[in-house]
Amino acid sequence: MHSPALSFSSLALCLLHAYATPHRPTLDIPPSNATVSISRFITANLTAVKELHTLVQPILPGRDTLTLPIYSFLVQHGSRKLLFDAGIRKDPLNLAPSLATLFTNGQFSPAAMDKDIFDVLKEAGIASSSIETVIWSHLHFDHIGDMSKFPNSTSLVIGSATDTSTYPSNPNASLLESDLAGRNVIRIDFAKSTLKINDLQAVDYFGDGSFYLVNTPGHVPGHLTALARVTANPPSFILLAGDTFHHPGQARPRPSLQANFPCPAHLVAGAGKHVSTDYFFSSGSHDGAFDIQSRAEPLLRIADGADSFWADPVVAAVSLEKVARWDAADNVLVLIAHDLTLVANLTGLSQNSGLSGLPYHPRTLNGWKKEGWKRNTVWNFIDYEGPAWIFSPLG
Ligand SMILES: *[C@@H]1O[C@H](CO)[C@@H](O)[C@H](O)[C@H]1NC(C)=O
Ligand SMILES: *[C@@H]1O[C@H](CO)[C@@H](O)[C@H](O)[C@H]1NC(C)=O
Ligand SMILES: *[C@@H]1O[C@H](CO)[C@@H](O)[C@H](O)[C@H]1NC(C)=O
Ligand SMILES: *[C@@H]1O[C@H](CO)[C@@H](O)[C@H](O)[C@H]1NC(C)=O
Ligand SMILES: *[C@@H]1O[C@H](CO)[C@@H](O)[C@H](O)[C@H]1NC(C)=O
Ligand SMILES: [Zn+2]
């Protein structure tokens, strides 16, 4: 009776062995020695109150609420400064009516929005007039900020498929006239570019190989990400991944991630005890003991139910699959816009492993590889004691 199970696990072992040598996908990134510097701000936390199922599946009983920190990234190219995403405005009730309702009806709690990107820039001593360009990964309310607070000299970069209709001419619009008024709006036309990186259309933003905008459709039309070269020799990168996923478990684990960054033993043991085998399968799991090491695909998927927050879950899943190849690579750090496991000074993990989140501005993230920051954070999501744990029913 046991032999079929045994041959399944030996197959799994063979598959694991095939991945045992450090694995790096063909990144197809053209060579360059030009780099940018990346640092990160947190502007606020958004709490998805009983709405996590619109982003993530499966949702286990009692696990439908999650805190989503909102990060913005400062990109510095010599003296030129860009922002990748502008967070959320402090007064979400003044969003376009189609979005303000998300706050009045309680789907999102507007708690802890006492600061916006202008406040954190000011605290950092950065004049908003020194921001040459704001790049929106997409037009959702937690990424567009309040552009009317930027001087008109700050330009706006958006993906070509972005819907720039505004309220009130379009009563359902996500944008207000003040989001675009008086500003140079630059649409990135990926269809015109012949460059492909990791099988994704890309544009070399500065023309020197330091910073690529990458077409990652699916979340909403026009969703884009940015690949920054942060060290030249050896080359290492940061992918500003926007909302290609919302919970790290939508990209992890993958066999190549396990090969490059083996799951720490205490988290393998913790997952064995706590991940519910009623909801999650892996070939090496037995008798209610979950085996994370033989899990062949990410634990979570993109929500594709009727009330999904994703415009096109099928297209989004393809973008996510490609981004997750980067997430597994040893020389790319993938930073989504709302990763709760990466807040600075993250506490509550089951074992203190030194740095457990990532620092904010003014520290740059460029040295992540040398500092071992990916190794120290990439498995935080599967920590039973950690804040992003959603892998067993609650109570
Ligand atoms: C980068 O710099 C190295 C060392 O100076 C040089 O050998 C190489 O040709 C440069 N690569 C590019 C693409 O400029
Ligand atoms: C957001 O939540 C995180 C995690 O609980 C916390 O560390 C951080 O201070 C909060 N930040 C804000 C701006 O509320
Ligand atoms: C606005 O959305 C509603 C509900 O989805 C729809 O019935 C209506 O046709 C939309 N109006 C416009 C102008 O798109
Ligand atoms: C910015 O543009 C808006 C809309 O066109 C205009 O009303 C405003 O005067 C402009 N501000 C400056 C400082 O040019
Ligand atoms: C995180 O901890 C460091 C070192 O103790 C401290 O300097 C920094 O202010 C902390 N950051 C936040 C956001 O609490
Ligand atoms: Zn978002």
Per-residue pLDDT tens over the stretch 229-270:
999 999 999 999 999 999 999 999 999 999 999 999 999 999
What local confidence, expressed as pLDDT, does residue 152 receive?
96
- Residue nearest atom 5 in ligand 4 by C-alpha distance: 182
The average confidence (pLDDT) of the chain is 92
Q: Which residue has the tokens 């269809």?
A: 191
Of the listed ligands, the closest to the CA of 245 is 6
Mean pLDDT of 119-145: 97
What ligand 2 atom has the least distance to the C-alpha of 115? 13
What local confidence, expressed as pLDDT, does residue 355 receive?
66
The three-class DSSP label of residue 312 is coil
What local confidence, expressed as pLDDT, does residue 302 receive?
98
Q: How far is the CA of 264 from the centre of ligand 2 (A)?
A: 26
Rounded CA-CA distance 319/325 in Å is 10
User: Among candidates 363, 341, 319, 299, which has minimal Cα distance to 73?
Assistant: 363
What local confidence, expressed as pLDDT, does residue 21 receive?
45
- Residue nearest atom 3 in ligand 1 by C-alpha distance: 33
Q: How far is the CA of 360 from the centre of ligand 5 (A)?
A: 9
pLDDT band of residue 351 (cuts 50, 70, 90) is confident
* 231 C-beta closer than 6 A to ligand 2: no
Interior angle at CA 391, CA 383 and CA 344, nearest 5: 40
Is the pLDDT assigned to residue 343 strictly greater than 80? yes
- Residue nearest atom 14 in ligand 3 by C-alpha distance: 172
Of the listed ligands, the closest to the CA of 208 is 1
At 294, the amino acid letter reads: S
User: Among candidates 307, 266, 271, 263, which has minimal Cα distance to 289?
Assistant: 271
Rounded CA-CA distance 132/155 in Å is 6
* 185 C-beta closer than 6 A to ligand 2: no
* 184 C-beta closer than 6 A to ligand 4: no
What local confidence, expressed as pLDDT, does residue 377 receive?
95
Q: What is the pLDDT of residues 297-329, one digit of tens each?
A: 999 999 999 999 999 999 999 999 999 999 999
**Cβ proximity of 183 and 155 under 8 Å:** yes
pLDDT band of residue 353 (cuts 50, 70, 90) is low
User: Which of 21-35, 101-115, 242-256 has the least mean pLDDT?
Assistant: 21-35
What local confidence, expressed as pLDDT, does residue 334 receive?
98
What ligand 3 atom has the least distance to the C-alpha of 172? 1
Mean pLDDT of 116-128: 97
Rounded CA-CA distance 154/162 in Å is 19
Is the pLDDT assigned to residue 282 strictly greater than 60? yes
Mean pLDDT of 164-178: 97
* 317 C-beta closer than 6 A to ligand 2: no
Of the listed ligands, the closest to the CA of 354 is 5
* 269 C-beta closer than 6 A to ligand 2: no
Of the listed ligands, the closest to the CA of 356 is 5
Is the pLDDT assigned to residue 13 strictly greater than 80? no
What local confidence, expressed as pLDDT, does residue 153 receive?
97
- Residue nearest atom 6 in ligand 2 by C-alpha distance: 343
Mean pLDDT of 141-150: 96
Q: How far is the CA of 33 from the centre of ligand 5 (A)?
A: 32
Mean pLDDT of 161-177: 97
